[in-house]
Structures are given as C-alpha cells and as structure tokens.
Amino acid sequence: MKLKSLMLGAAAVATATTAQAADLPVAPEPVDYVRVCDAYGARFYYIPGTETCLRVGGRVRTQVVINNVLEDGAWGQRDSDGYSWLARGYLFLDARTATEFGTLRAYVSMYGNSQNGDNSGFAMDNAYIQWGGLTAGRLGSNFDIFTGQVLVGVVGRDWSDKTLNQVAYTAAFGNGFSATIALEDRSSRESGDYGGTRAPDVVAALGISQGWGSAQVSGALHQVYPNAAANGGNNGGEDEMGFAVGGGVVFNLPMVTSGSNIFFQGFYADGALSYMGNQAGVADSNGSGDLSTGWSLSAGAFIQATSTIGLALDGSYSDIDAAAGLNDVTRWAIDGSVQWEPVSGFVMGADVGYANTDTDTVGDSDELLFGVRMQRTF
C-alpha cells in the first residue's frame, strides 16, 4: 500500500513539473528581417546579415525603327531589313557599403536582346567598382561630355559616346568642381586597321556641376598603332601619338520648366577620330605616318512641355580632313523626339532623324529614319 501511494505521488509531481515547464516562455529563433537602407536614396535594402545596402532594378524596352527610307537606303535594297524590331530586358544591381575611406560601391547592369528574331543572349552593359574617388571596370568614358537626350536616337550624331574598360581617379574639390585622370582601353577607340593593344589611352577631365547646369573640358592621348600590313607599307615606320580635346556646357532652363535644358559642345581630334564622333568611319591614319584630323560641333535641347510630355532635339556637324590617300568627309545630322510619361518610369514616344554625309570621290548619301519606343524602368 505504501509503495502504491509513493508511486502515485511521484507521478503527480512529474505531471505538475511538466506542466510548469510547458508554461515557461521560449526564446524565439533570431530572424534576419529585410531592413530599409536610407543612406543612399530610395529603394535600397540591407542584405540580411550584412551592412551592405542593395538596390535591385530593371528595364524592359521594345522599339521599332524604320530604317533609311530614301532611295539609296535599306528600302531600296531587297536583301536589307526595312525595319529593326527590338525587345530588350535589363537587370541592374547596385551594392554600397560605408567604409572609413568612403563608400564602397559595386554596380552591374546587363541586358538581353531579341531583334528581328535573333536572340543574341545577354551582354554586359556596365560593371564597375568605386571606392572613394577610385573607379575600375566598364562604364562610360571620362572624356564624354553630353551624349544626347532624344528618346531613341535613330541616326548617329558626331560626338564621343563610348562605354569601355577603365581605371580612373576623381578628386572632388567642393562647390561642384572635380578633376579626373584615367587609363582607358584603346580597343573601343580604334578607327582603321590597328595592330594589337600596347598602350591604353590616357584621359583627363575637369568639370563643374552646380544649380545652373554643368560644364567639362576633356583631353585624351591615343596611340596610333597600325597593323603589320599597314606598318610594313611604311617600311616599319614609327608609331604616332594621336590626341583629342573637347569642351561642353549644359544650361538648366528653370525659367521655361523644371527639367528643361540646352547643351553645346565641340571636339577636335588628330589621329583619334573616335573622340569627335566619326560616324563616317574614317581611318585614324593611312599607315604611313600621316594622321587624319577632324572636328565636330553639336547642340541640343530638352523641353519639359508638360508634367508628362517631353520634347527633345539633337544636332551635330563634323568635318574630317583624312590622311593622304583617304577620302575627306563632312556630315551633319539632326534627330528629334516627343515622349509621354503617363506613369513614373513608363515612357512612350516617337523619334525621327535625318543625316547627310558628303564623301570625296563618292558624293552625298542621305539617311531618313523613324522610330517608336515603349519603355518601363523599375
């Protein structure tokens, strides 16, 4: 009887102890919630478990360009495409971390194309690292000043507009003043028959950006390095050093409407024609030590006509004095567009452009193109 009572008592104590333990609070497992990062503007979030802020974005673009409709253009040649129909998707990644030496940033943008049924896969647009004033990777050339603001740009205008590999350092002096020195890949600046890469281009720029607008002066040194065949024709002559200079200014026009502006710029190049536009593709040299020279002037305006409608117009004129044995070229181009942004980040619009190229021994050629675009950026 005593044993039975003892066992019943032990069971009761165990039951009570278990019930009390079940009532005790249990610490929850730690959870890494996504936190908003407001240090670098809107739409940044902390990567869980880190102090790195990330912004993820993208863009979808579709457009149709009616290629040169004039008699000597695509529509006059049976085997040439009368239109180009493009669908493109972008992915943007922007990661930033605060360090004692300044913001450490890594930026990537890539896109995939489908044009006239040709799915070309993904291509790298930009990929660079920034740390303080140091930048290394693929992005727009530091020489470039203004690259137009029409919606599509169906005809090329003669100014420098290159995305390339580079390493650069920018010093900010306050009040909007800055200076940049850079080494940039020469490969994207070669016009004509070049040999293998030997020396990168050296680029420098001085700029100012304030409430009234911005301005920049740029300079570049470029090795003219003909290939073996061209150099052999020069009996192994010495390579040349080309150069280019440019300057431009953008004026904001708040007296018209917020967002409106006008720009002017000009370039001169000696043996480095890519830096002044060279839409005609004239060679930098004749391979015998004689260099081509050229200059271009360009201007444009953007008017925010209403809160949702924008009007843009770009134009350029260029003159190239080609090296001996090559054709001189003059060219002018004008491109205009109207765009409608009914919702922030969503743009639709139309674009028209005309260009005339006059080449020695060849004569005039004209281009007239039309384009429409729909684009959503998020």
Specify if 319 maps to a domain: yes
Q: Under a CB-based contact definition with an 8 Å cutoff, are residues 54 and 40 in contact? A: no
Q: Please name which of 88, 178, 94, 98 lies closest in space to residue 128, comparing C-alpha atoms.
A: 94
Task: Express each pLDDT in 131-140 by its tens digit.
Answer: 999 999 999 9
| Helix, strand, coil content of the chain in percent (nearest 5) | 10, 55, 35
Q: How far is CA 356 from CA 182, 360, 367, in A?
A: 34, 13, 6
With respect to residue 367, please indicate whether it lies within any of the assigned structural domains.
Answer: no
Query: 226, 208 in Cβ contact below 8 A?
Result: no
pLDDT tens sequence across 152-175: 999 999 999 999 999 999 999 999
Q: Which two tokens stand for residue 332?
A: 């002018």
Mean local confidence (pLDDT), 193-222: 97
Q: Decide: pTM greater than 0.85.
A: yes
Q: Is it the case that residue 26 has pLDDT exceeding 70?
A: no
Whether the CB-CB separation of 195 and 224 falls below 8 Å is answered with no
* Mean pLDDT value of segment 265-278: 98
Q: How confident is the model over 121-127, as a mean pLDDT? A: 92
Number of domains forming the structure of the chain: 1
Band (288; pLDDT cuts 50, 70, 90)? confident
**Is residue 114 included in any domain, yes or no?**
no
The DSSP output letter for 291 is B
Residue 113, in any domain of the structure: no
In a domain, 4, yes or no: no
Helical spans, DSSP H, in the chain:
2-23, 228-233
Let me know if residue 115 belongs to a domain: no
Domain holding 290, by residue range, is: 151-333
List all residues 6 or more positions away from 317 whose beta carbon is below 8 Å from its beta carbon: 158, 296, 297, 298, 330, 331, 332
What's the chain's length in residues?
A: 378
Mean pLDDT of the chain: 92
Closest by alpha carbon to 57, among 87, 91, 95? 91
277 part of a folded domain: yes
Q: What tokens appear for 241 in the block?
A: 């050093």
DSSP states of 33-60: ---EE-TTSTTEEEPTTSS-EEEEEEEE
Question: Is the pLDDT score of 8 beyond 50?
Answer: no
Contact status, residue 246 vs residue 207, Cβ threshold 8 Å: no
**Which two structure tokens, joined as six digits, stand for 270?**
């000696």
* 317 within a domain of the structure (yes/no): yes
Say yes or no to pLDDT of 10 above 80.
no
Pick from 347, 340, 337: nearest CA to 377: 347
* Residue 5 reports pLDDT greater than 60: no
Q: And the tokens for 41?
A: 């503007």
121 versus 31: the higher-pLDDT residue is 121
User: Of residues 25 and 213, which shows the higher confidence score?
Assistant: 213
Q: How far is it, in rounded angstroms, from Cα 219 to Cα 223? A: 14
Query: Which class for 150: exposed (0-12), middle (13-18), buried (19 or more C-beta within 10 A)?
Result: buried
Instruction: Provide the pLDDT for residue 7.
Output: 46
